[in-house]
Chains A and B, each alone.
Chain A
């Protein structure tokens, strides 16, 4: 078997099959049983193998190419020309690596604090991993849609079964929001199929469409992707989902699933309906800036740590959409800022995956010990958990976009690019320097610093080895991307350059 020809299939199906195996083999409901313990070892092994294979993908990925690599294509549903069509480029490959990197960490993070149905818990994450990689690798609309919707199921279960008290409300809100959005995306796919005669993304990219058509398709896509990002004002499912989700669920949700929205815009909206995207670009920029400003202020007043980080996620994702939609405000030439903005948005997705994942893990560490997410229940944690405090302050600084951490890279690039588009875009985007620091560090002040607030805090134990390793690995990744983002950006640049070329060409017939 030559891995280079079917590495993507392996990356998708290995975790799914591994997950099903864990699910079927581990029916014991008792986390103390040796069988359950064996299942989590198996789950970790599968996720680590996936990570290893994604390393193979990285090593064989050629960043100088703008075309799809590791392409696999077989006829799937012949009746309407839907193919099993996979491939990656500089946009999707980093996201697949991120997915493969985060999943083992999530499994280790849930190692012995999932008491109820542990095997099913780990199985859900493995299956979810395969499906998410599928979304990033799919180049056929039907295949994409199947992965896209199927992905909701494990996440729905993770929140619904292992979640907090209001998990039912949160899951329904989560499901309805995301499902309603994506149904319209399917309608758009079918319309495009009617024009192109196949579900191939590239065929979609080639069909000529009038501005009116493109506007409708853009709106259909927008509803699907804006919910996922999430963008104001369709963001309110996220704080609820995060608050109720178990730690691992929050991490995956923030680190990977939110990236689906940004990925959708850059993979579908921009190249398939460039004129529609241009038409709505100012609108999108305004929504992005609202995310930075409005949501930043809302994050400031949150009393629940998970809600605060959830709102902070929305504010950070504003940079992703801002970077993508300023393309039309600048000229399409090298040095104009278009590439800088899109690349910055993509880097921000990766960085946010690392940083927000780490922040949720930090809250999880506290929650495991005190069973509270309320900022007011803490205070002076640094006295009893010095190592944890060091990590939390570090990730908080990354969240506040400190240079040297990954959080800075994307924001910096997007701010530079948006200044090229319009002074005021940069002005409002740069408020994140103040707001991001304010909400993150004010939380740190109240939770980490100060004298020991109460007897619960006094009784806290510092990180155990397992937690230390997970946070340590994430911290190393955050530093690496912050100090040397070149490898990541080099993966993207050729693809982004080609994308900019593509979006600059009108698809309106006769235009």
Chain B
């Protein structure tokens, strides 16, 4: 299996290098063939690894590939931990990546940077695989930053667009704020275990939890709480949790295929994956879990609200992604790690589908992205329409769809979680995920109706060109629609209530909500039946009906509501002013402080007063010396001899 693992990782890398460095020589077709084949190979091998681990009863493997460096007894290695959690992630990553590769052939057909794009998305696949397959923190951090790099390169892919290169810088820097916490978390791990290896660190988790760190004054903080919160700050950056979420909507400046691959299905879920991977650590700090829960709940609800007022088709989906990532984070916060990963998986399929469908619409609309200028596309684009409908139903959690199983189980888990107590955090979390269902259905169907139903609001020229996208675009839509529709039905049993994850995820008995739910779980059909007695499904339905009323039945209402609630609308439209906080507050503040330090510190105080002040006095005193600095070698030789003589004299005098 080891050679399979290496091939899975290296094939996309090799393809990326060939397509990137020799793109011009090999041409466009060769560039897409080589990357599609490489990622296809990775996908097939990932499925084999998955089958081996799950169906054939293979055991998890944990081994080192090579030693990066050893210093101070700290082994820094590159190695793989291939267990069922990893295998699931590998399948999701390579499958979505393959779909996106194929889709890109159609979407980027006329782009001059065609080969470069394929090179980047293959490189991304490599980096993401390194991240999920890591068996140590060093490689995790490598993958973590490498996906950030490729995300930066791809958001700014159209580098002539000022908005794109603003967005990619913003994305990288906000992620670096998260990484700042992340690296401190890793350093904390090393402080207590002197190891970067997962297994070693997990084995000494109890020991870490028994220690403390003093940070402010004499207050001792539990070491595990500090470490987990630091690590989670990293996850907040990567998985775009409030208040580090601001980069994700802007990342929509990148081409649509990468919005699907990187900014919906895979990279942004890296934070969720990381916390699940670190479950042996997070389990030991209820404080850290409470922080995770709160941040997730806030993100899930408030980011969903923003989706209602967006008019750019991709931004609606982006805010939906933020909100769904919040859901996953909430699941982590109640120790339902499996539920988080389960939602991560179904979300990867249906959100990639929604983004790619949005891209299909964008192609048809000649790169118009404003949903107010669309409408009635249903009859022009039947495949896009039906696949979008499947994606939308999965997103809102319509009974039977993949999203229904994952989201409903997640909400159930939050409701059942008792160890946070019935205190404020519990109610914030539960109400957020519950009301979030209504909001999700509202913005999802608002977009769906505005795009595919109602009046055709586009101009005549666009209208005359409307047609369904070519098969390279629609085939991935169909292939993603299938798992979006049905995968939940088949997998909820083993993943959530069976022993799919085995030892990959560890939950303390007192935290284990899923096992309690598992005892009541009999079949997927019964799960649906039970859900119909719960509020979530009905909230989703009422959200969809509300959208129908507001945007199809009585389309004049939204305008009136907007006028009535204008302060609220402004608040949502300005996205709670987080951009102002980051851009004017932090970035602008940093520049102002930098300017101040430079002008007043370096130039005025140090150079002006100290250096040039001293230099001026020295210059006055040593006018002769200045004359010496003419650039003639013999002057210097003379100076050196003179100095040497002086020095000799001194020595003689000393002795």
Residue numbers of A with Cβ under 8 A of B are 79-80, 149-150, 153, 156-157, 160-161, 171-173, 175-177, 186, 190, 194, 233, 236-237, 294, 297-302, 334-340, 343-344, 380, 382-383, 393, 397, 402-404, 408-409, 412-413, 415-420, 423-424, 426-427, 430-431, 433-435, 437-438, 441-442, 445, 448-451, 483-486, 489-490, 493
Contacts and interface: CB of A to CB of B under 8 A. Distances in A.
The 10 closest A-B pairs by CB, nearest first: A419-B187, A297-B594, A339-B72, A340-B72, A403-B142, A301-B594, A449-B165, A300-B594, A449-B159, A335-B73
B177 interface: yes
A437 B176 contact: yes
A334 B149 contact: no
Contact of A236 (B74, B162, B172, B607): B607
A1 to B, nearest CB: 30
Given A236-B607, A486-B69, A294 B601 contact: yes
B598 interface: yes
A489 B591 contact: no
B149 to A, nearest CB: 6
Contacts of A442: 169
Given A335-B72, A442-B169, A173 B615 contact: yes
Contact of B188 (A177, A397, A419, A435): A419
B72 A343 contact: yes
B650 A190 contact: yes
Contacts of A190: 647, 650-651, 654
A36 to B, nearest CB: 20
Contacts of A408: 145
Looking at chain A's contact residues, is the secondary structure mostly helix, strand, loop, or mixed?
A: helix
B176 A153 contact: no
B215 A423 contact: yes
B378 to A, nearest CB: 38
B160 interface: yes
A486 B76 CA distance: 9
B159 A450 contact: yes
B165 A172 contact: no
B640 A150 contact: yes
A236 B215 CA distance: 34
Contacts of A177: 611
Q: Tell me which of B176, B184, B626 has the highest count of chain A C-beta atoms within 10 A of its own C-beta.
A: B176
A413 B66 contact: no
Contact of A160 (B146, B214, B587, B631): B631
Contacts, number: 178
B629 A397 contact: no
Contacts of B169: 441-442, 445
Contacts of A161: 631
Interface string B25-43: 0000000000000000000
B606 A427 contact: no
B183 A415 contact: yes
B511 to A, nearest CB: 28
Contacts of B71: 339-340, 343-344, 413, 489, 493
Nearest to B636: A153
Given A416-B74, A489-B70, A450 B173 contact: no
B70 A493 contact: yes
A438 B73 CA distance: 33
A207 to B, nearest CB: 16
Given A486-B68, A489-B69, A441 B184 contact: no
B654 A194 contact: yes
Contact of B141 (A336, A403, A435): A403
Contact of B598 (A186, A301, A435, A493): A301
B640 A149 contact: yes
24 contacts: A157-B631, A175-B629, A236-B607, A298-B594, A300-B590, A301-B594, A301-B595, A301-B598, A339-B72, A343-B72, A383-B160, A403-B141, A403-B142, A404-B146, A419-B191, A423-B215, A433-B180, A434-B173, A434-B177, A437-B172, A441-B172, A449-B159, A484-B68, A489-B70
B629 A172 contact: yes
Contacts of A404: 142, 145-146
Nearest to B612: A173
B123 to A, nearest CB: 11
Contacts of B146: 402-404
A383 B159 CA distance: 9
B532 interface: no
Given A194-B654, A420-B191, A298 B142 contact: no
B194 interface: yes
Contacts of A186: 647
Contacts of A485: 68-69
Contacts of A298: 594, 597-598, 601-602
Given A336-B72, A402-B145, A415-B187, A437 B173 contact: yes
Interface residues on B, range: 35 or more
A397 B149 contact: yes
Interface in B560-593: 587, 590-591, 593
A236 B597 CA distance: 13
Given A402-B149, A441-B173, A489-B71, A294 B597 contact: yes
B606 to A, nearest CB: 5
B283 interface: no
Given A175-B629, A337-B72, A343-B71, A450 B160 contact: yes
Contacts of B68: 483-486
Given A301-B594, A449-B160, 17 more contacts: A176-B615, A176-B618, A236-B602, A297-B593, A297-B597, A335-B74, A393-B153, A402-B145, A402-B146, A403-B146, A409-B69, A419-B190, A423-B213, A441-B152, A441-B169, A445-B165, A484-B66
A419 B227 CA distance: 12
B212 to A, nearest CB: 12
Contacts of A417: 72
Given A403-B146, A434-B177, A416 B141 contact: no
Interface in B603-644: 606-607, 610-611, 615, 618, 626, 629, 631, 633, 636, 640
Contacts of B145: 402-404, 408
B611 A173 contact: yes
A299 B160 CA distance: 25
A236 B606 contact: yes
B591 A300 contact: yes
A451 B160 contact: yes
A233 B594 contact: no
B611 to A, nearest CB: 6
B476 interface: no
B186 interface: yes
Interface string B527-551: 0000000000000000000000000
B399 interface: no
Contacts of B160: 380, 383, 449-451
Contacts of B213: 423
Contacts of A415: 183-184, 187
Contacts of B595: 301
Q: Which of A156, A335, A409, A416 counts the most chain B CB atoms within 10 A? A: A416
Contacts of B172: 437, 441
Which of A237, A402, A434, A448 has the most C-beta atoms of chain B within 10 angstroms of its own C-beta? A434
B642 to A, nearest CB: 13
A426 B184 contact: yes
A450 B158 CA distance: 9
Nearest to A386: B116
Contacts of A403: 138, 141-142, 145-146
Interface string B331-345: 000000000000000
Contacts of B191: 337, 419-420
Contacts of A424: 215
Contacts of B197: none
Nearest to B629: A172
A171 B607 contact: no
Nearest to A160: B631
B654 A301 contact: no
A326 to B, nearest CB: 12
